[in-house]
Amino acid sequence: MPRPTLLVITLLVASLMAIAESVASETHLEFSTVTGYFLQDEPSTDPDTFDYVAANFGLIPRSYDSDAEFDPDSRKSQWERFAHHLEQLNANSGPETSYRLLYLGRHGEGYHNVAERRYGTELWDCYWALQDGDANTTWVDARLTAVGIAQAETARAAWSAQIDAGIPPPQAYYVSPLNRCLATASITFLGLKMPHTQPFRPVVKELLRETLGLHTCDSRSPRSAIAAEYPQYIFERGFAEHDPLYDAAWRESDSARDVRLRALLSDICARDPSTVLSLTAHSGAITSLLNVAGHRRFALATGAVIPVLVRVERVPGPAPEMRVDPPSGAPVCKVGMESKGVGEVVVEVVEGA
């Protein structure tokens, strides 16, 4: 039996997750970003220059309606007042509405990131991303570089500083099954003075992955290999031994990725009542999560973190259909142009391909 295309797999997984979401009745979850709390929400904040560490994760210094009752003497920190305000938002909302604080963390630099810089994005997309590696290294299920490890350690130090300032800590942790995210989450959170970090047992979620297909760096290791390296991590129910989503011939479209990440967020919010959630993922996955939540586009550097306050509402009826573009193959390359400098295998991107 021929292997289903990536598009069919993506839609099938998303459909199954949507069915699981509406167990009792035909309902669905709608997501919207509540702005005005973090600098990353503001159009004036430049993602290319923003420093989440120096800016206290982007928390905006401001007052809240709940301050008068909670902090009449103005002795509480900004984070403590925000945490109380979040509690009040949920306390005063109806049974079908909740407010969730998502900490979205991108993995530290991986060997695939280094290779893309070395060869350039065009050569990376049309040739090198399809290989297992080069003479320097391998990037199948890419691991963190020394720089990536340092970036995760920076995130850990940033979290430690915010703990002292009263940041509401995650009540649940989720992580992509790709190694660079598994490692980033461990370095960042293991043993921190926060709940659920001693031991640190995040839930590994299949759909939290980077854009699917083609690029070998985005294929995952077998479940048994992940469990051997991270024995404390929890696999979601049904997590397969071998990668069910990677397709060496096709690359998932951005719109299909949006559908997949919407299914993931719906699944988490339907099953997990936690108010504060940590998700360690990838640039593409975080782009889709922000898009699904109605947040403005905000590209994260490797190792960076963005907090997002999301309003979640359960509404009657099936979820509205989302447009899904088909997957695409690799850009066409041709032999030639030694100036490209890729060793024995030299390729040139065909103009207009």
Catalytic residue IDs: 107, 210
In the numeric block, the tokens 């854009």 are attached to 211
**What is the identity of the amino acid at 275?**
T
Pairing of the two strands 234-235 and 333-335: unpaired
| Backbone torsions φ then ψ of 40, nearest 5 degrees | -65, -20
What spatial distance separates the first Cα and last Cα of the chain, rounded to whole Å? 32
DSSP 350: P
**C-alpha–C-alpha distance, residues 299 and 303, integer Å:** 12
Distances in Å between the Cα of 138 and the Cα atoms of 66, 152, 201, 246 are 53, 21, 28, 18
Contact 90, 168 (CB under 8 A): no
How many residues in total does the chain contain?
Answer: 353
Residues linked to residue 106 through DSSP beta bridges, in sequence order: 281
Answer positive or negative: Cα dihedral of 44, 254, 334, 123.
positive
DSSP 138: B
Instruction: Supply the DSSP string of 251-277, one letter for each residue.
Output: B--HHHHHHHHHHHHHHHHHH---SEE
**C-alpha–C-alpha distance, residues 79 and 163, integer Å:** 9
